[in-house]
Structure 1
Amino acid sequence: MNYKVPRGTQDILPGQSEKWQKVEEIIRQLCQVYRYQEIRTPIFEQTELFQRSVGDTTDIVQKEMYTFKDRGDRSLTLRPEGTAAVVRSYVEHKMFGQPDQPVKLSYIGPMFRYERQQAGRYRQFVQFGVEAIGSKDPAIDAEVIALAMDVYETAGLKNLKLVINSLGDADVRAAHRDALIKHFEPHIGDFCSDCQNRLEKNPLRILDCKVDRENPLMATAPALTDYLNEESAAYFEAVKKYLDVLGITYVVDPNLVRGLDYYNHTTFEIMSTATDLGAITTLCGGGRYNGLVEQIGGPESPGIGFAMSIERLLLALEAEGRSLDTDNALDMYIVAMDDQAKLKAVELASSFRAKGISTELDYASRKVKAQMKSADRLGAKWVIVLGESELEEQAANVKNMELGSQEKVPFHDLVNYLTKHKVK
C-alpha cells in the first residue's frame, strides 16, 4: 500500500523545520519580554466547551470540528482554536485568585479544523496565541496588538496592515442585532442557507460570510460603530489612543466582526499586503471577550487575546522574498581513514559536542574523497582527517574550509582550539 500524509496535513522536513524553530524562538523571546507565560493544554477537550464558547452558529462548530466518542461514550473534540481551552484552564485552576491580574498566558501548538486545503490553510495547523485575562483596561488591548505586530516585524515582514473595530458591549450588540435583522430579513432568501439560519440566531455572522460577501446588502448593512453607546465608544477611543502612543498604524473597519461568537469591544486583524501571497491575506486575528470566563463557569474576568498561524507567517515571508536567519551551520567534520581512526573520531566528536561544537562524521564507510565532498556539501567550517600518522603523532591538521588554511593541533588541545576560534 502506498501511504501518504493525510489530506490537509503536511510533513515539515529538514530545511523547513529550521524556519519553524526560528519563528518559535522569536515568539518565545518576545513572550518573555512582554511577560506572557506559556501554558500547555490538551489537544482534545470536551465538545461542549467549544459549543458554548466558540458558538454553535459558527462554521467551526457546525462544519469543521473533529469530534469523536471515547470508550466511555463521552464526546471529545480536537481543539479547533486555543482560547476556549486556556480560559477553561484559567477557571479550573482558579487563576482568577492570583494577586496580579491580568494573568498573561501564551500557547503554541497544533489545532484541527476540517477545511478545504489551500495555501496557508490546513486541517492540522500550528497556532500561536496569547490571552490576557482579568483586566478591562484598554491599555492591555493595545499591548496584545503590539505583541502580535512585534512578532511579524521581528520575523522580517514589512507589508502589514492592522485593521481594528469595536463590537461594543451586550447592549450595543443587541441594538445592532435588531438593525441587522431588519436590514437582511426582506431579502434573506437571496443568501446562502448558512446566512438564512444565522438571521435569527446571530445575524452579525452574516457579515462574515464568504459566500455572499459580494451581495449589495453587505455594503449597506448597518455599521456596528454607529450603535456604540457612550461607554463602548470611549473604550474604543482609548484603545486607539494607546495604539497612537505606541506608534502603531491602524485602519478602522466597521465591518470587521471576526468569526467567533465570544468577541466584544475591541476586535482586530493583521493582514499582509504582499501582492504574491494569494487569496488568504489575514495573518492574525483577535479581540476582547468579556463574559467568556463567566460563560465557562468562572467569576467576572474580562479578557483579550489573539491567534496567529505559523504557516501563514512563513508564507508571508516567502511572498515578500524575505528569509529567516536560521543557524544550522556545521562546525566540524571528522574524516576517518580506517577503523582505528574511526574509534578516535567517535571519541573526539563526543568531546566536541560536549562543548557545543556541532560535529559530523561518516557512517557509510566511504572513501576519504567522498567524505571530503560530504563535508563540503554540509558547509563544515573545519575539517580534520584522521589516519595512521595522526594517531601516532596524537595531533591533527585543522583545516579552515573558508580560508583554506590549516594548523596542526594536538588532540588534547583540540577542544580548546575550536572553542577559542568558534565565534570567529
Structure 2
Amino acid sequence: MGKNTPHAIRGTQDMLGEEAERFQHVVDTFDRVRRLYGFGRVEVPVFEQTAVFARSLGETTDVVSKEMYSFEDRGGDSLTLRPEFTAGIARAYLTNGWQQFVPLKLATHGPLFRYERPQKGRFRQFHQLDAEIIGAAEPAADVELLVMADQLLSELGISDGVTLQLNTLGDSATRDAWRDSLVTHFEAHKGDLSEDSQDRLTRNPLRILDSKDKRDRPIADAAPGIDDVMSDEAAAFFDAVTSGLDAAGVAWERNARLVRGLDYYRHTAFEFVTDRLGAQGTVLGGGRYDGLIEALGGPETPAVGWAAGIERLAMLIDAKDLPGKLLIAVIPDHPSMENEANRLATHLRVRGYSTFTVLRGSAKKRADKARRAGAAGILFVRDEDDPNRRLHLTDLSDGNVDAEDFLMDVLGNLPEPYHQLEGSDHTGFRVL
C-alpha cells in the first residue's frame, strides 16, 4: 500500500472468503430457525434520537456514558448510532401503534456500534442477531425464546461446550428487597471494593455481583442471594420457566449471581456461555424487561428477548459444518463457444444449480480456478468437428457420493439439444 492509502478504522473489520461464509451461515441459520418459531422480520433505523438509548439503557451506564457514538446533526438534534436493538424496537412498537398486534414475535439482525476496546470477537462495528416477544407476560414466552436459542446453537453445530446459565431477578417487590439487602451488605465493605464497584454502589449495585475485579470477588460471593427475599409469585414464575425447559429437553444450570443492572428487568435472566472465547465467553444472552416500554413513556408492557453476536458465533463454527458448495463449472474450450457456455450456465442456475464461470483465460487456466473454487465437476463446452461430442464432463468428486449424485442430477437436466450417449461413461454427450 502507498503512504496515502486509507486504512481501516481500528476496531472495524472487512470479511472475505471463509470468514464471510461463516458470517452468512449464522444469518441464514437464524432466519430459518426464527421462521420455524413464527418470528416475523422487523427493521429499525441504524440511528435514533439519543434519548431513546439514554432512557432505555440508563444515563449512568457505561454504554451511554462511554461507548455510544452520538453526534449532532445539521438540524441540531442529538442522534446516536444504535448500540443495541431492543430500545429501537420498543420505540418502533410505541410510535407505530403495534400494540394492536400483541403478542408480537419479532426478529432482526444487523450492525451495531459501540466505542469499546477491541478484543477477540468484539468490534466497534459489530453485528447481532436479535429476537423479542412483546406483550406476553407468560413464562411460556421465556421458554420459547430459550428453546429457540438452544436450537439455533445446535443447528450451527456449536452447542457442545456451551452452557445455559439461568437466574431470576424476581418481580418488582423481590428485586427492590434484594437491592436493599445488597446495598446494606456492600456499604459495610465499601472501603474494600474496587473503585468501579464503589461507583456502582450508588447507581447500579447489582452489577457488583458480576465484577471481575479480584478485590470485589470475596465480598460479592458473600452477598445475600435473591432466594432469601423471593416472593411466592416470583418463585412460581421461575419454576414455570425451568420446568418448561426441562420438558423441552434444554439443559440449564442456575447462576444465582447472573444479574441485569437496570430497573426495568424482571424475572428471567440468562446467558449461553462458552470457554472457547476467552474471558468474555457469552455467545447469547437476554432476559425479561417488563418495565422498558413504560420507561420510554408507553403503557406497562411485558416483554422478553435475547441477542447474540454474529462474529462470536461464527468464530465457533467448524469449517466442515459450513454448507457444501457443490458447484458445477461451465467452461468453453474455445472463445467461439463462450455464448454457448453462458447459455448452459444460465440454464443450470435457473434450475437451482450453483454454477461457476471464469470470465477470462484459457480453458486450462479456467479449469484450475474451478478446482480451487471447490467445483464438484467441470462441464467443458467443446468446439470439435464431431457434432456428437460437444460436451465433456470431468468429475472432480473423488468418489464423494453427494457430489456424484449432484453431477448425475446435473446431467439429467441439460437442455436440448444435448443428450447423454447411450452406454457411455458419464463423459459423452451428443447433439440430437
Normalised TM-score (structure 2): 0.87
What is the deviation of 1:51? 1.1
Residues 22-421 of structure 1: matches in 2 within 5 Å? 22-98=25-101, 101-157=102-158, 158-211=160-213, 214-258=216-260, 260-273=262-275, 276-318=276-318, 323-338=320-335, 340-364=336-360, 366-389=361-384, 395-402=390-397, 412-414=416-418
What is the deviation of 1:210? 3.5
Moved segments of 4+, more than 4 Å? 390-394, 403-411, 414-417
1:221 aligned counterpart, secondary structure:
coil
Q: Which amino acid aligns with 1:348?
A: L
2:8 corresponds to 1:5:
yes
Structure 1 residues 354 and 415: alpha-carbon distance in aligned structure 2, compared to 1, 3 A threshold: farther
CA distance in 2, matches of 1:142, 1:361: 47
Moved more, 82-91 or 373-382: 373-382
Residues 205, 257 of structure 1: 8 Å contact kept: yes
CA distance in 1, matches of 2:57, 2:182: 21
Structure 1 match to 2:429: none
What is the deviation of 1:105? 0.5
Residues 272, 316 of structure 1: 8 Å contact kept: no
Q: Which amino acid aligns with 2:291?
A: G
1:283 aligned counterpart, secondary structure:
strand
What is the deviation of 1:249? 1.8
CA distance in 1, matches of 2:148, 2:215: 30
What is the deviation of 1:393? 5.8
What is the deviation of 1:403? 6.7
Moved more, 176-185 or 125-134: 176-185
1:198-232 residue CA offsets vs partner (Å, 9 max, x unmatched): 22222112223334574421111121232212211
1:371 aligned counterpart, secondary structure:
helix
What is the deviation of 1:400? 3.0
What is the deviation of 1:127? 0.6
1:323 aligned counterpart, secondary structure:
helix
Q: Which amino acid aligns with 1:282?
A: T
Structure 1 residues 50 and 355: alpha-carbon distance in aligned structure 2, compared to 1, 3 A threshold: same
Residues 112, 128 of structure 2: 8 Å contact kept: yes
Which of 16, 19, 22 is the matching residue for 2:19?
A: 16
Moved more, 18-27 or 400-409: 400-409
CA distance in 1, matches of 2:300, 2:340: 66
Normalised TM-score (structure 1): 0.88
1:186-208 residue CA offsets vs partner (Å, 9 max, x unmatched): 43244344322322222112223
Q: Which amino acid aligns with 2:112?
A: M
CA distance in 2, matches of 1:402, 1:51: 57
Gaps of 5+ in 1: none
2:321 aligned counterpart, secondary structure:
coil
CA distance in 1, matches of 2:420, 2:16: 34
Structure 1 residues 207 and 373: alpha-carbon distance in aligned structure 2, compared to 1, 3 A threshold: same
Residues 128, 308 of structure 1: 8 Å contact kept: yes
CA distance in 1, matches of 2:283, 2:254: 17
CA distance in 2, matches of 1:181, 1:382: 68
1:331 aligned counterpart, secondary structure:
strand
Number of aligned residue pairs: give it.
409
What is the deviation of 1:385? 3.1
The Cα RMSD (Å) is: 2.7
Residues 182, 206 of structure 2: 8 Å contact kept: yes
CA distance in 1, matches of 2:99, 2:331: 56
1:343-382 residue CA offsets vs partner (Å, 9 max, x unmatched): 3323333333332333333323x23322232232223233
Q: Which amino acid aligns with 2:26?
A: V
CA distance in 2, matches of 1:198, 1:72: 36
CA distance in 1, matches of 2:203, 2:18: 47
How much identity, in percent, do the aligned residues show?
A: 39
CA distance in 1, matches of 2:204, 2:86: 20
CA distance in 1, matches of 2:377, 2:301: 57
2:224 aligned counterpart, secondary structure:
coil
Residues 333, 383 of structure 2: 8 Å contact kept: no
CA distance in 1, matches of 2:216, 2:320: 36
